[in-house]
Structure formats: structure tokens, C-alpha cells
Amino acid sequence: MKHNTLIIGGGIVGATLALKLAQAKHPVTLIDARPKLSQDDWAEKLTHRDARVYALSLASINLLKDVGAWQRIEQSGRKADYTQMQVWQTNGVGELNFGDDEFPRLLGSMVEPFIIEKALYDGFDDETVKPYLTHVAGHKVIDLDWIGDGYRVALDNGAACSGQLVVGADGRGSMVRQAASIGLDTLDYHQTAICCAIKTEQPHRATARQVFLPTGPLALLPLADVTDSDKAMPQYWQSVVWTLPTNIALDLLTLSPQALAKELAFASGYALGDITEIESIASFPLNAQHAKQYVKPNLALIGDAAHGVHPLAGQGLNLGMLDIIALADILQTDFERSGGKLWANFATLQRYERERYANNAMMMHSFSGINWIFGTQVRPIQHLRSEGMNAVSKIKPLMRFFSQKASGV
């Protein structure tokens, strides 16, 4: 058990941390309730376009490069880089434009979740990683017992494994968080997000767009070109995240796809003309949540198990990736300082919590505040909002600062 880490949850955050630790030659066991996909399963998934994308920041991209996953994503061609970002509102004036027209540089990249997962899982077969990484797939954790100097984890197939450190990377409904009796602060926005993939009359030109409507933000995010016909006319497909009061969203979801496309084009102000195709329509309720603490002796929470944010800034996964960078660095630093004797002692884990908790809380409150400011119909606030956007758009150093904060580097 000595120095072994058990990661519960095999999504992007859990798999990235597993690779990061294994590449540093630390023994790690990744436990994923989902069954392992065969190459045929992956091949089938690759034929479909996922309307959901993650807006990966530069910090997240650099982390994926470190573990060798980004190189595989680039080889797949299933990513849509963006070099511009436009933000505007319909019930006021002012527009923010991030990026340099004359000297475009990468602001981030839109990638479908399963593309990132495949790139990570393919890394498990690397000969330098295999001796240190055990992947347990298709089995749920049913019990978690603290045994003084670590945890014993029981699986639904009767098997058990032990580790000096347990990391909960098992999402918003985290079993690890609940088993550790860690409380949760929640905020219900009473909003629902409609997601879909759309093809527009005009190309997106590597630009991510977000318009703030009185009913909530509407994001148009570049999608990778999948089919041969897509590649013949690139940059016309986009992912939509449309935030609305729940009652309005439910009404819109009763419409035919064609009728919904018309409503969507109108809501966007025909920013890219009409919508010619729409597919993969889905929805999910919106709320924020934050664990009251991230660590206990021999236990840490990362990603959505620790914090869940409003999607308006596309920072949910990026915050989880910053958790990984912080936790892995702090674990490694204290391990080396101790001459390889200390692994994940409580003081080390508390350093991780101090580094990430306040930052994540600030980001969550900022997203909630932005959501309220742009949704309010109070005239004085609308006026101040417009004046503020106008002022900020003219201060180039401030625009660069906001762009840098969003990139995470």
C-alpha cells in the first residue's frame, strides 16, 4: 500500500491525474465504474459528432501535452482551435473582442469529451507507464474505509484495494465526498442549458462567440470538422450552449428541430446567418456546488467532486485541470523533500487545499455574479453594465489581463 494512490473516477480529470502520477513513477490505481471500451467501440463513437465540447484553456492544453494526450488529439484532427472571442449583449451597448486580428494566437481549443478520454486512455499502454498504473474498469466502489494510514476500497465484484491516498474524481455526485462526510454548498440557478450542434450559413472563422440575452447567455463555439463534406467546407459547424429559465427551455424543447433552429438563429441575432442543420439536441439543469473542504487525512477531492460551476465561461474542466497541476506538484515536491519517505501526509494535502479552494470559490462567485449582472432588467445596472463594457473594451492591457486569466497560464 505504501505510496499507492487510488483515484476513484475515470473521467478526464481522474485519467489525467493517473497518467501524471504514473509518469512520475508513483504507483496509482484508477477505478472507473464504466466498462472499458474496445477499439470497435471507440471507432463507432468517432463516427459521431458530440454537441458537447470542452473549451480547453492553454493551461489545460499544456497539461495534456505533459502527459502525451494532446499530441494524440492533434493527430486525430478532432479539435477546433480558436484565436478570437467575441462577447456582446442585446439589451445594451458594448462589445468585447479578445484576440489579435493582425497576429492571431491560440486562445484555446474546443474538443469533444470522448476525444480527450481516448487520447488519455491510449496513454495507459505506454511502456513507461504500465508498471505504475493499474486500470480497474467496469466496477463500482461500494465501500470506503479509513484504516489509519490510508484507505481500503471495496468493489462490487468482491475485490478490494488499498492506498495511502484516495482521490475523489468521481463528479458532482461524488461517492468519495459523501463517504468522507464532506458537506456541500449548493446554488440552484433555476436555469436549463440547451445544447446542440449546428451548421450555419457563414463560417465561424476560429472565433468563439457569446451573446448575453435578457434570458441568459448563448454561446456559439467552434466544432471540429468530422466528415469529408465538413472538411471540404470547413468551419461551419458549432456547438451551442443556450442558458434559459427552465420554463422557457422546456417549452423550446417541445419544438421540432427545424423550429428550434429558427428560434436559435433569431436569438443569436443571425450572427452567422441562418442555421442550415441542427443535431444532437440535449439539455441539463444548471446549478453550482462547492465542497466545504477538499481534503481529509489520506483523501483529496478534485474536479467536479470538489466544485461545479456555471457553464457561461466554459471553465469547469479547466478548473479541474488546475487542481491536478497543483496537487501533483505539491505531492511531488513534498515527496522529494522527504527523500521519498512522505507521500500525501495531511500537511501536504492541506497545502493543496489552500492553493485551490479560495481560487475556485472566487471563480464560482464571479460566474454567478456575471450571470446575474447580465440577466438583470434593473435599468441603472443595465446602464452601468453597458458603460463598463465600453470602458473595458478600450483598455488593451485590461483586455490582455482578462484573456490571460481565462487561459490559465
pLDDT tens, 21-46? 999 999 999 999 999 999 899 999 98
Q: How many of the other CB atoms lie within 10 Å of CB of 35?
A: 10
Contact 42, 389 (CB under 8 A): no
pLDDT per residue as tens digits for the range 159-179: 999 999 999 999 999 999 999
pLDDT of residue 117: 97
- What's the CA gap between 89 and 66, in Å, rounded? 38
Of residues 48 and 352, more confidently modeled: 352
User: 298: pLDDT confidence band, cut at 50, 70 and 90?
Assistant: very high
The set of cell numbers assigned to 67 is: 502527459
User: What pLDDT shows up at residue 310?
Assistant: 78
pLDDT at 368 over 80: no
For residue 287, the surrounding DSSP H or E stretch is strand 275-291
Model confidence at 381, pLDDT cuts 50, 70, 90, reads: very low
Q: Which pLDDT tens digit goes with each residue over 105-162?
A: 889 999 999 999 999 999 999 999 999 999 999 999 999 999 988 999 999 999 999 9
Confidence grade of residue 88 (pLDDT, cut at 50, 70, 90): confident
pTM of the model: 0.91
Q: Say yes or no to pLDDT of 280 above 50.
A: yes
| CA 314/CA 55 separation, integer angstroms | 6
Q: Please give the pLDDT value at position 98.
A: 74
- List the Cα angle 277/279/282 in 5-degree steps: 140
Residues 247-266 have a mean pLDDT of: 97
pLDDT of residue 401: 44
Q: CATH for 5-407, among 3.40.50.1390, 3.40.309.10, 3.50.50.60, 3.40.640.10?
A: 3.50.50.60
Report residue 325's pLDDT band, with 50, 70 and 90 as the boundaries: very high
**Position with higher pLDDT, 406 vs 138:** 138
Is pLDDT of 90 > 60?
yes
The pLDDT tens digits of the residues spanning 172-222 come to: 999 999 999 999 999 898 999 999 999 999 999 999 999 988 898 899 999
Task: Check whether 382 has a pLDDT greater than 80.
Answer: no
Work out whether strand 108-111 and strand 80-82 pair parallel, antiparallel, or are unpaired: antiparallel
Q: Indicate the residue type of 326.
A: A
Contact at 8 Å (CB) between 316 and 13?
A: no
Q: Look at residue 371 and tell me whether its pLDDT is greater than 80.
A: no
